[in-house]
Amino acid sequence: MAERLFTEEFIHRLERLALVTRRAAAGPLQGERRSSQRGQSVEFADYRPYVPGDDFRRIDWSAYARLERFFIKLFVEEQDLLVHFLIDTSASMNWGQPNKLWYAVRSAGALGYVALAGLDRVTITALGALPDASGKSANGSGRYFPPHRGKNQALALFSFLQNLAGQNNGENGRGRSFDPARALRSYAAAASQPGPLMLLSDLMDDGWLDGLRALASRGFEVTLVHILAPEEVRPDLQGDLKLIDVESGAEVEITADYELLERYRQNLQAWQEELRRFCSARGMHYVPLDTSLPIEELLFAWLRQKGVLK
């Protein structure tokens, strides 16, 4: 039986949170977020002069009595948002203690539930997904969760994510190519309703930044959750070792000493700073973490500090 994502108590705590969006977005269904469009909700927004063809029922007769001119009442329209989750399921993500892919799945599940509870629609796509036991490709069944809306869809969301984590085995992915730039460009081009987007990845492949540029150009409001394992942030290595790349299978021999590990730490910090600057320049949230961070702290502290949740 698959491991449960959350306890009932934790799910109830999630209902205290809400996603923050900087943009008013219009969707096909009425929701709880204000759109910049004018609709027919109960909250008054403004007037405009009557023009032939307008609905007579929206005429403000009190204004006509005072001004002897016809005016139409405009109201704020509450519309839903489509929240996008992109989960990197390439081979390098299925590694570490705690496991990076499982951490990404739980993060997406918690954030997805927050969106569903807010009456926003939620969709999830696996990127770099490996074939499952039946041989289905990354574009096959089980790699895409179409838009769902409402808390009653939480079970379907959690089931999808549990299956997604269970389908991936890092050993099977070794040597398989994955082009993040192409994947994100395709996603950006195909999206009919850009909105808040959470990308959860260890960013171990080349091309992520080009893909993020494509998402930004389409108007997505991106939060980049950069997930590393504790062993990657603070490697505890000594002596002569052979390292194997789980993505390509390439091997490299090293001698792990203090000087080498210090250079590694400096390069890691420089890499994360480069990503932070890249995201800041494009209005994206950058959230670096390692999987030793309790998910409660991620949701109720870090993401609130970053302005992703409130």
Instruction: Give yes or no for residue 27 having a pLDDT over 70.
Output: no
| Average of per-residue pLDDT across 10-29 | 75
| Architecture of the CATH domain 8-22+81-305 | 3-Layer(aba) Sandwich (3.40)
- On whether the CB atoms of residues 161 and 102 are closer than 8 A, the answer is no
Average of per-residue pLDDT across 126-131? 68
Cβ–Cβ < 8 Å for 104, 88 = yes
Task: Between 138 and 259, name the one with better pLDDT.
Answer: 259
Tell me, what's the pLDDT at 270?
97
Q: Which residue intervals of the chain bear CATH 3.40.50?
A: 8-22+81-305
**121-127 vs 144-149, strand pairing mode:** antiparallel
> What is the average per-residue pLDDT within 87-100?
93
301: which DSSP letter?
I
Report the chain's mean pLDDT, rounded to a whole number. Answer: 82
Residue 135 pLDDT greater than 80, yes or no: no
pLDDT digits (tens, 9 = 90+) for 71-87: 777 665 555 689 999 99
Residue 243 CB contacts under 8 Å (≥ 6 apart), including other chains: 251, 252, 253, 254
1-5, long-range: CB < 8 A, 24+ apart: 2/162, 2/163, 2/165, 2/166, 3/162, 5/105, 5/106, 5/109, 5/110, 5/158, 5/161, 5/162
Give the whole-angstrom CA distance, residue 29 versus residue 44. Answer: 20
pLDDT at 215: 96
Predicted TM-score (pTM) of the model is 0.79
| Residue 181 structure tokens | 């730039």
